[in-house]
Amino acid sequence: MRSTLGTGMPSAFTAAASGFSAAQARVAEDAAALAAGELDPAVIVDLRQGQVAAAASAKVLRSQQDSFSRLLDILV
């Protein structure tokens, strides 16, 4: 499966999947820090930013899935 559209730009799916993966790792790291007792406000803010980034990436993935589904409906 190609990850680019021929122009060197990543597809929306590839970008969203990568963004979700990065956000998931960020949230896991910050959650572990909080669980270990690190109550630095920067960790809490970073955790929340990771949650927002994951949610945004999930919305892009959902949009891609919906668009693909509509395309299949048109073709079939």
> Tens digit of pLDDT for each residue in 3-48?
544 555 568 889 999 999 999 999 999 999 999 999 999 999 999 9
d(CA 60, CA 64): 6
Q: Is the pLDDT of residue 76 over 90?
A: no
- What is the reported pTM? 0.76
pLDDT at 7: 56
Residue 23's nearest CA partner among 60, 62, 50, 61 is 50
pLDDT at 10: 67
Alpha helices in 3-40 (DSSP H): 12-35
| C-beta atoms surrounding 19 within 10 Å | 17
d(CA 25, CA 68): 27
Mean pLDDT, range 49-56, rounded to an integer: 96
d(CA 11, CA 46): 27
